[in-house]
Structure 1
Amino acid sequence: MPDRIEVRIGEYGSAVLTGSQLTSRDVDRLRVLQARGRLGLDRTPTGWRLKAGATVGLLVLDRIRLVMEPKFAISGDMLMDWLAYALGAPAPLPVTSRRWATGPEGYADLVAAALLEQCERLLREGLRRDYVRRQNLEPVLRGRLDVAAQATLRYGQLDKLHVHAFDRETDIWDNRVLGTALRVARTLSTSPGLARDLHTIAEAFPQDTPPDAALRALDHTRYTRLNARYLAAHTWARLLLRGGGVTDVLIDCGTAAGGLLLAMPALWEAVVRRLTTDATASHGGHTATGGSAGITVRGDLGITSAFRPDVLISLPGRDPSERTLLPVDAKYKRYDRHGVGAADVHQLLTYSAGYTPNDDRHAVIVHPRAGGQSYRALQIDSPRGRLGNIHVLGVDTHTHPQEAAAWVGSVLPLHHG
């Protein structure tokens, strides 16, 4: 297979491809992504027009490597900081980020570098070992004798014994999933230095686990004091094996989509969830659990539906024994350049009516922007009085997440109720 042609598209941009640049398999995979709202694919007289949405990253097709670059709010050099913040994982060291920051794949190489950094740390500390059951042929009895195997395979001979024994080995799930993720990361990277380092370190990890099995193992992993140091490495491994999804998996007939794609609205929702949680913690606030009922719609042709804001913050009220709820919605929109749309106003008013006191209704929109933080408050009135207040927070994604969280805490309406 000759080297793939690289096609680069900015977020919400488009590119025209000739008919020969996409195989029928490529078209099928792109149609799956199109059905999930990740991108657009239209037929033209000479080929195809590919439209990028709010998805960034790398997609490896049969004849092209499609690179979709972040353009809207979170710049490429800050993307990893915000992604690490949303995932609760340590950001790659600055020297690691700079090493591959200018690579042709950008986001994909940086995620691979983050995994590499964590795996190098685990190797320096020593990989975790645990007892693994093995069926061995031993000269002496060690463990439990396999009577059936001894009788049928050795025919009564006792010079070698078939035994079941437990040995402390590194060939355990905690390490095997990392070996698989390193192998996947190597196939996505075109940076020779990074690919070489990934290949070298992968040799130290067991690698006989298919990606889908590794992902299932990660989803069922529980962390204790024995494997807590693996959490960061597993976080980056999970991201790679899921094809980049923060909350969803890009799957095509059970096979990974062959790339690393990140849906920016999903990332922004995860960012806002942590931002508001961190911002309100010092004021006694916390994220409301799933037990809070959503707003329910009934009577529409027998269909019952429910919806909730992206985040519900529980805050102490004027009476210490009571708490109030503050609905917060993450909007990955250009509300730094134009006014809040009518649909979003209606949505936030519904949230404020459903969750906040009748005499003091508030709701919050958090959107990304570049060039400084911004705050404005919308007052929605009717002939019968105030309907509610919508606080619009523009978070500067060129700042560090911790600084943004402190600013959000300073402007949120935390003392109403």
Structure 2
Amino acid sequence: MPDRTDVRLGEYGTALLRAEQLTPRDVERLRVLQARGCLNLDQARSGWRLKADATVGILVLDRVRVVIEPKFAIPGEQLMSWLAYALGAPEPLLATPRRWATGPEGYADLVATALLEQCGQLVRGGLRRDYVRRQGLEPVLRGRLDVTAQVSQRYGQLDRLHIRTFDREVDIWDNRVLGTALRVACTLTAHPNLARDLHTIADAFPQASTPDAALRALDRTRYTRLNVRYHAAHTWARLLLRGGGVTDILTDSGVTADGILLSMPALWEAVVRRLAAEASAPQGGHPIPSGGPTGITVQGDLGSASTFRPDVLLSLPGGAASARTLLPVDAKYKRYDRYGVGAADVHQLLTYSAGYARRNDPCAVLVHPCQSGHSRRVLSVSGPQGPIGSIHVLGVDTRTAPQRAVEWIRSVLPWADRR
């Protein structure tokens, strides 16, 4: 990879680039990302002004390497733990901690390290083989003779035989997608030792024709007992190949720039969905869809009907044997550990509580990240006719392990007050 100047900024941060640092192709790439809401690019007097949104990651452009660091919500040394938790993938054993504030490595190195760890385990355990049908021209008969091809192309000559074979090989899609992802990771990392290790292990894997072909294969993949051990490696491979995120977290937006970006609000929503599901399970709770028959709809306005959908809708056991109650939970990637909850979010949560919660005690839950210990407060909203509803504002300390956060969420969710 040619030498590039590193440009570092935090999410919501701004960096000034000289005019010669961006090529016309770079500008086109960044415009595509701007249309997707990942960042903003404006012309300045002496060049370009690049402003990040709530997106972190790496962009490898022609002359610069843009590193967008998490600003506050999840510390760099903990980002991989929460990302693995959101994806449901095992956390890799990192040889050395990578700190955003001090090291030259970026978010792509964390994911590349995770992919390297999983691929190493697969190589040590033996890559999966499957039967692959081949057609070839050989001097001896092996497999089946392709009579039609032999007669029409060799005209009776028997020095070379057209044959069809069906052998077990490692050149299958389960392995091809990993070989492609490892080679993509080599182009993104700036750490020489990591790049060397990625290049070495990539030689053990076949490669797909294009990254797009590998992504299409991943979307078609179904896991059985034969290939389930590939699931974790494929999770990290998908994140690298897609560039703009993974299906579980962020819908593929067709970003053409080389790099890997992650929407932090989407990551936090995925974290909260899993936190809520795991915290409610011991009490008999489980998430249910918040659309269709259980959706909150607005009709009668101009245009099509709109909907209100919380990030998580929990179904919890009620007082009666067969009764169940609904608890809406919403994820907010905002600094509500330092500032009051915004009026728009209060209105949104009150709508959820009125639409889903019990009439005699309407409530909803808002979960936000923080770094100063877990926090909890309850907003009581009332009017001239009495109470309207309550909003439980829960701050999850992202410096702790996700499993510890599950235990805390379980102890402070609203049903804990009624036991």
What TM-score bracket applies, with the shorter chain setting the length?
A: over 0.9
Output the TM-score relative to the length of structure 1. 0.95
Could you say which residue in structure 2 is the equivalent of 1:334? 335
| 1:7-406 superposed matches below 5 A | 7-95=7-95, 97=97, 103-138=103-138, 141-245=141-245, 246-252=249-255, 256-289=256-289, 292-406=293-407
Secondary structure of the corresponding residue to residue 299 of structure 2: strand
Cα shift readout 1:12-40 (whole Å, capped 9, x = no counterpart): 21111111111222112112212222112
Instruction: Assess, with a 3 A threshold, how the Cα gap between structure 1 residues 250 and 193 changes in structure 2: closer, same or farther.
Output: farther
CA shift for structure 1 position 96: 5.4
Output the TM-score relative to the length of structure 2. 0.94
The AA in structure 2 aligned to 1:355 is Y
8 Å CA contact 1:100, 1:109 repeated in 2:
no
8 Å CA contact 1:364, 1:392 repeated in 2:
yes
Cα shift readout 1:87-143 (whole Å, capped 9, x = no counterpart): 000111143546999641221111101100100000000000000011133456544
CA shift for structure 1 position 388: 1.0
Q: Identity of aligned pairs, percent? A: 71
The AA in structure 1 aligned to 2:221 is T
8 Å CA contact 1:101, 1:110 repeated in 2:
no
Structure 2 portions without partners, runs of 5+:
none
CA shift for structure 1 position 249: 2.3
Aligned pair count reads 414
Q: Give distance in 1, aligned partners of 2:318 and 2:204.
A: 55
8 Å CA contact 1:74, 1:397 repeated in 2:
yes
Secondary structure of the corresponding residue to residue 104 of structure 2: coil
The AA in structure 2 aligned to 1:369 is C
Aligned Cα root-mean-square deviation (Å):
2.0
CA shift for structure 1 position 327: 0.6
8 Å CA contact 2:85, 2:402 repeated in 1:
yes
The AA in structure 1 aligned to 2:39 is L
Cα shift readout 1:323-363 (whole Å, capped 9, x = no counterpart): 22111110000100011111001000111111112112111
8 Å CA contact 2:297, 2:306 repeated in 1:
yes
Q: Give distance in 1, aligned partners of 2:308 and 2:379.
A: 23
* Higher alpha-carbon deviation: 198-207 or 160-169: 160-169
The AA in structure 2 aligned to 1:151 is V
CA shift for structure 1 position 84: 0.3
8 Å CA contact 2:380, 2:390 repeated in 1:
yes
Q: Give distance in 2, aligned partners of 1:130 and 1:230.
A: 14
Secondary structure of the corresponding residue to residue 163 of structure 2: strand
8 Å CA contact 1:15, 1:49 repeated in 2:
yes
Structure 1 portions without partners, runs of 5+:
none
Q: Give distance in 1, aligned partners of 2:294 and 2:147.
A: 59
Cα shift readout 1:164-193 (whole Å, capped 9, x = no counterpart): 221100000000000000000000011110
Secondary structure of the corresponding residue to residue 136 of structure 2: strand
Q: Give distance in 1, aligned partners of 2:170 and 2:2.
A: 38
* Higher alpha-carbon deviation: 131-140 or 27-36: 131-140
Cα shift readout 1:294-336 (whole Å, capped 9, x = no counterpart): 2111121232122300111111111121222111110000100
CA shift for structure 1 position 397: 0.1
Q: Give distance in 2, aligned partners of 1:109 and 1:244.
A: 15
Cα shift readout 1:190-219 (whole Å, capped 9, x = no counterpart): 111000110000000001431011011111
Cα shift readout 1:148-169 (whole Å, capped 9, x = no counterpart): 2111122123454322221100
Q: Give distance in 1, aligned partners of 2:321 and 2:141.
A: 68
8 Å CA contact 2:61, 2:257 repeated in 1:
no
* Higher alpha-carbon deviation: 367-376 or 282-291: 282-291
Q: Give distance in 1, aligned partners of 2:214 and 2:102.
A: 30
The AA in structure 2 aligned to 1:53 is D
Q: Give distance in 1, aligned partners of 2:101 and 2:202.
A: 22
Instruction: Assess, with a 3 A threshold, how the Cα gap between structure 1 residues 210 and 100 changes in structure 2: closer, same or farther.
Output: farther
Instruction: Assess, with a 3 A threshold, how the Cα gap between structure 1 residues 302 and 364 changes in structure 2: closer, same or farther.
Output: same
Instruction: Assess, with a 3 A threshold, how the Cα gap between structure 1 residues 291 and 125 changes in structure 2: closer, same or farther.
Output: farther
Q: Give distance in 2, aligned partners of 1:77 and 1:209.
A: 35
8 Å CA contact 1:58, 1:105 repeated in 2:
no
